[in-house]
Amino acid sequence: MLHPTTVLTFAIFWSTLDRSLILPLVPTIARDLGATVPGAATAITLQALAYSLLQILWGPLSTRWGRVRVLWLSTAIAAAANVGSALAPDLTWFLIARTASGGAFAATFAAVLTYFGDTLPLERRPAAMSNLATATALALGFGTLVSGAIVTAVSWRSIFGGFAVVTIAMAWAISRLPDAADRHEERVLVQLRLLLRNRWGLGVCALVAVEGLLLIGVYNLLPVALQQEGEDVFVSGLVTSVFGVAVVVVSQVMKSVITRIPPAAFIAVGGACAVAAFTVLATGVSPVAVLVGAGLMGTSWALAHTTLQTWMTDAAAATRALGMTLFSISLMLGGAAGAALGSVAVGLDAFPTLFVASIAVSSGFAIAGTISRARYTVRGG
């Protein structure tokens, strides 16, 4: 039997890859289905919205049924949705299939975080959270590279079909895992009341929503922005994939110093990197600008997101199942908002305005996150 940490870290990678594969394919899909690029880009927004909102359903089911049962069931549904994506005869069918896939994979992130929170002591969580942040970033970065490269040799339909096959295998592997805790000890309404009174937990969720807007939503539109400037699919996927490279490198360095540096410092530096990234992008969309910007965004993700995840497992220790669900919902609602703004920027050719606004938002994130984390006292839950 595979170790739960290995299987669930891969599940995070794979569920994120489901969202990033489409990014450089949007113009190709639009052309094949006889749709406009902004119309096809709607799939990114709808998938992110479903991923965010359906966690409201999966969170309580995770409490009632157990993490593992929800994970393998939702993964099986996602496999079917990817088959539907591969077979889509028109844009409407494709949008429905991508929305269904996002809604199915909505179960993954919060359930895995809760599983690790239930099974790992506090001192082991930062390393585990760093691995999850790395897996997420690798999927965000290399998904664009892989799909951008493969689509030059095979159709986009084959990409989604192949993805479905691996997803089926992953559902089987998840079904073999032991469950994490006695789910009958948790009551959703009690958790909800406690969580709504938890100002630290709600504060972390607000911060991660802003992070999602910047480092998922706006980042997701970088390949499309490059292609609108005349670059091909492969180049747009290649330069944006440096996001994943940066996260891997920075996460490994972070593991070696994480016990010696205050968490607030990681958020401060991560926020500063986000400001620098959007400053570079605001000068103009080009392969070099996106290469540098994506690398800085990946550095920001590695430093800030890992810190926020670990912070939330402690801040919401008494309501961990629902708390981590709200954390994940907040991240992806922010991502959906960023994707929606990006789609508007695509239609209006207004990427400079989007990047300038992102500079201001990144500055607020850095300041608020740093001050809040410095004031927080660890509870050890």
Encode pLDDT of 290-341 as tens digits.
Answer: 999 999 999 999 899 889 988 988 888 777 767 877 888 898 889 888 888 8
pLDDT for 185 equals: 45
Give which of 130, 105, 123, 159 is closest to 9, Cα–Cα.
Answer: 130
pLDDT at residue 186, as a whole number: 53
Amino acid 380 reads: G
Task: Count CA atoms within 13 Å of residue 168 on its CB side.
Answer: 9
Specify the pLDDT at position 91: 95
What's the CATH number for 4-375? Answer: 1.20.1250.20
When computed from its CA atoms, the radius of gyration of the chain, rounded to whole angstroms, is 19
Report how far residue 198's alpha carbon sits from residue 352's, in angstroms, rounded to the nearest whole number.
38
Cα separations in angstroms, 332 against 63, 135, 216, 370: 21, 16, 8, 22
For 207-226, give the DSSP string.
HHHHHHIIIIIIHHTHHHHH
pLDDT at 181: 57
pLDDT tens, residue order, the chain (381 aa): 678 888 999 999 999 889 888 877 888 899 999 998 888 888 988 898 888 788 878 877 877 788 889 999 999 999 999 999 999 999 999 999 999 999 999 999 878 877 887 777 766 777 777 788 778 777 876 777 777 777 777 888 999 999 999 999 999 999 988 876 544 445 667 777 777 888 998 999 999 999 999 998 898 888 888 888 888 877 887 888 888 889 888 888 887 787 789 999 999 999 999 999 999 999 988 999 999 999 999 999 989 988 998 898 888 877 776 787 788 889 888 988 888 888 788 777 788 899 999 999 999 999 999 999 999 988 765
pLDDT confidence of residue 237: 78
Mind listing the pLDDT tens digit for each residue in 108-164? 987 887 788 777 776 677 777 778 877 877 787 677 777 777 777 788 899 999 999
pLDDT value for 1:
61
Q: Which residues contact 103 (CB under 8 A, 6 or more apart)?
A: 50, 51, 53, 54
| Closest alpha carbon to 312 in 375, 373, 222, 269 | 373
| Residue 179 DSSP label | P
For the chain, the domains span 4-375
What pLDDT is attached to residue 241? Answer: 82
pTM of the model: 0.73
Question: What pLDDT does residue 187 have?
Answer: 64
Phi, psi (degrees; rounded to nearest 5) at 229 = -90, 5
Burial of 67 (0-12, 13-18, 19+ CB in 10 A): buried
Predicted pLDDT of residue 101: 96
Using N-to-C axis directions, what is the helix angle for 156-175 and 4-20, rounded to 10°? Answer: 160
